[in-house]
Amino acid sequence: MSSKHEPVSARHYLITGRVQGVGYRPFVYRLAHRFRLHGWVRNVTGSVEIHAEGSENNLTRFSEALIREAPAISLPVLTNIVDVEPVPHGGFTVLASMLGEANIHVPPDYFVCEDCLREMNDPGNRRYHYPFINCTQCGPRYTLIESLPYDRPNTSMKVFAMCPACSQEYANPLDRRFHAEPVACPVCGPQLFFSNPDEPLIADNEAALAATIRFLKEGHAVAIKGIGGYHLMCDANNDEAIARLRMRKPRPFKPLAVMFPADGKALLECVECDATQLDFLQSPQRPILLLHKKSGGTISHQIAPGLNEIGCLLPYSPKHVLLLEKFGGPLVATSGNLNGEPVITANEEAQTRLENIADAFLHHNRPIVRPADDAVYRIIAGKPRPLRLGRGIAPVELELPGELPEPVLAFGAHTKNAIALAWGNRVVISPHVGDLSSLKSMETLAHVADDLQNLYQVRATRLLLDRHPGYGYRRYARESGLPLSEIWHHPAHASAMAWEFADIKNWIVFAWDGVGLGEDSELWGGETFTGAPGRWQRAATLRPFRLPGGEQAGREPWRSAAALLWETGYPAPFAPELLHAAWLKGINSPVTHAAGRLFDAAASLTGICTHASFEGEAPMKLEAVAMHDGKADTLVLPLAQKSSGLWQSDWSPLLPMLTDQTLSTIHRAACFHSSLAHALLDQARRLREQNGFNHIGLTGGVFQNRLLTETAKFLLEQNDFQVHIPGQIPVNDAGICLGQVMEFLYADNTP
Ligand SMILES: [Zn+2]
Ligand SMILES: [Zn+2]
C-alpha cells in the first residue's frame, strides 16, 4: 500500500477483449505489486474485473500499463473505469472466477514460447524434453477448452491431477505458470504412447518418440496426434514412402504439406523464403505457408507434382519440435483423415479409421475437445492470404459493422465448409469443416454448430443457408425447426470481401469461382457486382455455356473443354458422341458463366489436366505452367452490353489459341491468364464509366490464383483503380458464412 501520508484512491476496471487464457490475471497481479496497490482481480465470463487502491499517481501508471504492457498474446480493451470508495484490502488477491453475462473471447492454440523452449532444452529442468510443456503465454487453448470461464476444471486437462510441484507453480502469483490452466510436467501431465501392430505398446515419452523416429527413418507412415487432430507423417525426402502413403490414402497428386525442423535450415534449402515469410512461419499461429520450390532441393518431387509451390510449416507444438529435431529432416505432414472428411481427433477413431494408411501411431492421452486442422496461407500481391482457417487462427472472432436483429448460425457452402455464429455485433468463424459430401463431415458440422453455441453461450434463433437446394446441410437445417433465411452465393462472396473494408461505400466486385446457384437458376461464377452488402447489382458476367454433366464437370475438366468447343461450333473428338447428343438436347447440361470452368477447359485443351484427382487441380497446374512465361501475349475478349444492361465478356477468341498445337503449352497457359486479366480490366473500366465507382474487390476461389490476381491488380492500378483483396478470410467458399451474415445484416437496408 502507498505510504501513510498519501491519500488513497480506489478504482474499478472492466477489461474486455481477449483476456482469458492468456495470462492476463497474473499479469495484473504483478502490476499491482509493482505499483503497491491493494485490491483484487477476477475473471467474469469473458472479461476481467479489477479493484485497485493506492496513490493517485500509481493508479494512473497502473491504468496505462494494463494495456501497454499486456502479455503479447492478449488483446485487452479497457472498457470501463470508475472511481469508487476505498475499502481496506490486505494486499492484492486473485479471486475465483465468476459466471456472468456472455461476452466471451476464446484464445487460439499458440506455439510454445521462448521461455518454455529454453526449459525444454535444459537438461537440469524438470520438464527437460517434456512434449507438453506450456505456460500462461503459450500452449493449446481452443482445442482443450470445454466451457468457459477458462479454468482447469473446464478443460480437457481436468483428468490430470497436478503434482505438488505443478500445484505450487499454478498457485504462486509470481510464477510464470500462475493459473496456466494446461500446466503439466512428466510426473503428472499428458504422456505419449506409440503403437504398431507387431510390438507391445510403448508408454514412455522418450521411448515412444524414439520408436516413431525409427519407423519414419525406415520409410513408414506414422499417424501422429497433435494439437487439433492427427497428421499422417513420413520422410519428405523418401519417394517410396510418399508413393506408398499416396496410394493408401488414396491421394495420387494432391500436394502434401511438409513440416521442417525448427532451425529453418532445411526449409531454406528447399524453398525460397525471405525474412518476412520466415517471420510469418515462425509466428505463434504456425500456419502452413505455400512457398516456391528451389530447383535442386533434395525434397521429393512427389510432394507437389506439377506445382511450383510447397505448403511449408514449422513445428507447432513442443512434441513436434522434439520430433523434427530428432528426425533431422523434413517430414510430410498431411491431415489425418479420409479424403475430404474432417481431421480425426480421437485415439480409438484414428486407430481404426487410419489403420490401413498408417504403419504405426504416436498417440497421447490429452483429449482434443474440438478439431482444428492446420491453417493454410498463400502469398498473393505481397501479403499472406488465408486459403483455409484452422489451428492457431481459430476461432476467428470478428466485429460486424452493425447490430444483428437476432443470433444466427450461417452454414456457408458445401465444399470448403466453415460455419459462423453471429450475434450482436460479433461473429465467430469455425475452423475448416471440409466437404459436406460425407456423413462424417455432416456429423462434424452438427457438432461444431452445437459446440460454438455452447462455448459462446449464445443460441441461434435463425439459420442462414446458401440458396442451393442440394447443399449437404439442408436436411439438418430443416430438422432444426429454426426459421431459415436463404442467401445467394455470389453476393455472399462479395459481402465477405466487403466486410474487411468497411469504409468503402460503393464497389465493383469480381466474384469468380467454380459454380454457385444464381438468381436466374443458372450456375454463376464469372459475376461482377456493383454496390455494397445488401444491395449488390449484377453488372457484368462471362459468356454463358452449357456444361455437359453439370456437377461432374468439376472433377472432369475435359467436359468444360468440350462445352466451349461445342458452344462455338467446333468438334470435340475426345468427348463421347452420346454426351454430345445429350448436350445438344440440353439434357443434364446446365447453363453456367463460371470462370473456374474456363480454367478447367484451358487446362484440358492444353493437355495439362483432363481429369482432376482433387478439387482445383486443373487451375493450379495451369497456373504453375503459366508462371514459366515471362511476358505473355494477350487476346482481346470482346465486351458487349446486352439489352438487359448486363455486360458480357466473350471468351471465344481463346479457343483457336488454346487448341493451337504449334504454340507451346507455357505460352498458351500464360496467354489465357493474361487475356482474362485484361477482360476483367475492360469490365472494370466500363462500369466505372457508368457509375463512377473506383474501388475494386477481387473474391471467389478463382482469386486464389496468384498469377491472375497479381496481373489483374497490376492492370487495374495502372488504370488508377483502388484494388482490395481479402487478407483475413479466405476468398474461396470458406468465406461464404461471413458473407451470409453480412447479407443478413444489411438485408433490411435494401433501398
Ligand atoms: Zn510458455
Ligand atoms: Zn506436475
Q: How many angstroms does the Cα of residue 723 sit away from the middle of ligand 1?
A: 40
Q: How many angstroms does the Cα of residue 450 sit away from the middle of ligand 1?
A: 31
Q: How many angstroms does the Cα of residue 366 sit away from the middle of ligand 2?
A: 14
Residue 418 has pLDDT above 50, yes or no: yes
100 confidence band (pLDDT: 50, 70, 90)? low
Q: How many angstroms does the Cα of residue 169 sit away from the middle of ligand 2?
A: 9
Kindly report, residue by residue over 376-414, the tens digit of the pLDDT: 999 999 999 999 999 999 899 999 999 999 999 999 999
Segment 237-260 mean pLDDT: 95
Q: For the chain, which domains are there?
A: 9-94 (3.30.70.100), 107-190 (3.90.870.30), 202-364 (3.90.870.10), 395-500+731-751 (3.30.420.360), 503-725 (3.30.420.40)
pLDDT score for 73: 79
pLDDT score for 1: 43
Q: How many angstroms does the Cα of residue 387 sit away from the middle of ligand 1?
A: 28
Q: How many angstroms does the Cα of residue 99 sit away from the middle of ligand 2?
A: 28
Q: How many angstroms does the Cα of residue 177 sit away from the middle of ligand 1?
A: 8
| CA–CA distance, 419 with 399 (Å, rounded to integer) | 16
pLDDT score for 102: 53
pLDDT score for 103: 67
Residue 573 has pLDDT above 60, yes or no: yes
pLDDT score for 149: 78
Segment 634-658 mean pLDDT: 97
Segment 439-446 mean pLDDT: 90
> Measured in whole angstroms, how far is the alpha carbon of residue 612 from the centre of its chain?
23
Q: How many angstroms does the Cα of residue 164 sit away from the middle of ligand 1?
A: 20
Q: How many angstroms does the Cα of residue 183 sit away from the middle of ligand 1?
A: 10
Q: How far is CA 227 from CA 132, 143, 170, 290, in A?
A: 10, 7, 22, 21
DSSP 12-24: EEEEEEE-SSSSH
Segment 278-295 mean pLDDT: 94
pTM: 0.91
pLDDT score for 598: 98
Kindly report, residue by residue over 52-83, the tens digit of the pLDDT: 999 999 999 999 999 999 987 788 999 999 99
Q: Are strands 199-202 and 722-724 parallel, antiparallel or unpaired?
A: unpaired
Q: How many angstroms does the Cα of residue 182 sit away from the middle of ligand 2?
A: 11
101 confidence band (pLDDT: 50, 70, 90)? very low
Q: How many angstroms does the Cα of residue 444 sit away from the middle of ligand 2?
A: 34
Count, residues in the chain? 751
Q: How many angstroms does the Cα of residue 138 sit away from the middle of ligand 1?
A: 4
Q: How many angstroms does the Cα of residue 133 sit away from the middle of ligand 1?
A: 7
Question: Could you give the residue ranges of the DSSP H alpha helices within 507-663?
Answer: 557-567, 577-585, 595-605, 617-626, 654-658
| CA–CA distance, 533 with 749 (Å, rounded to integer) | 9
Q: How many angstroms does the Cα of residue 167 sit away from the middle of ligand 2?
A: 7
> Measuring CA to CA, which residue among 502, 491, 496 is closest to residue 529?
491
Q: How many angstroms does the Cα of residue 136 sit away from the middle of ligand 1?
A: 6
Average pLDDT of the chain to the nearest whole number: 93
Beta bridge partners of 230: 225
- Protein residues with C-beta less than 5 angstroms from the ion ligand 1: 113, 116, 135, 137-138
Segment 662-671 mean pLDDT: 96
Q: How many angstroms does the Cα of residue 19 sit away from the middle of ligand 2?
A: 25
748 confidence band (pLDDT: 50, 70, 90)? low
Q: How many angstroms does the Cα of residue 111 sit away from the middle of ligand 1?
A: 8
pLDDT score for 89: 77
Q: How many angstroms does the Cα of residue 41 sit away from the middle of ligand 1?
A: 22
Ligand lying closest to the C-alpha of residue 157: 2
Cβ contact 710:723 at 8 Å: no
pLDDT score for 750: 40
Q: How many angstroms does the Cα of residue 114 sit away from the middle of ligand 1?
A: 7
DSSP 78-107: EEEEEEE-----SSEEEPPPB--S------
Cβ contact 162:106 at 8 Å: no
More confident residue, 99 or 490: 490
Q: How many CB atoms lie within 10 A of CB 5?
A: 6
Backbone angles phi, psi at 68, to 5 degrees: -65, -40
Segment 199-224 mean pLDDT: 97
| CA–CA distance, 648 with 642 (Å, rounded to integer) | 7
Ligand lying closest to the C-alpha of residue 140: 1
Q: How many angstroms does the Cα of residue 436 sit away from the middle of ligand 2?
A: 42
Q: How many angstroms does the Cα of residue 91 sit away from the middle of ligand 1?
A: 28
Q: Which amino acid is at 79?
A: T
Segment 187-213 mean pLDDT: 96
pLDDT score for 295: 84
Segment 230-247 mean pLDDT: 97
Backbone angles phi, psi at 248, to 5 degrees: -75, -30
Residue 99 has pLDDT above 90, yes or no: no
Residue 319 has pLDDT above 50, yes or no: yes
DSSP 4: T
Q: How many CB atoms lie within 10 A of CB 403?
A: 10
| CA–CA distance, 676 with 622 (Å, rounded to integer) | 13
Question: Could you give the residue ranges of the DSSP H alpha helices within 516-663?
Answer: 557-567, 577-585, 595-605, 617-626, 654-658
Residue 515 has pLDDT above 90, yes or no: no
Q: Which of 40-44, 246-250, 256-260 has the lowest mean pLDDT?
A: 40-44
630 confidence band (pLDDT: 50, 70, 90)? confident
Q: How many angstroms does the Cα of residue 127 sit away from the middle of ligand 2?
A: 9
Ligand lying closest to the C-alpha of residue 130: 2
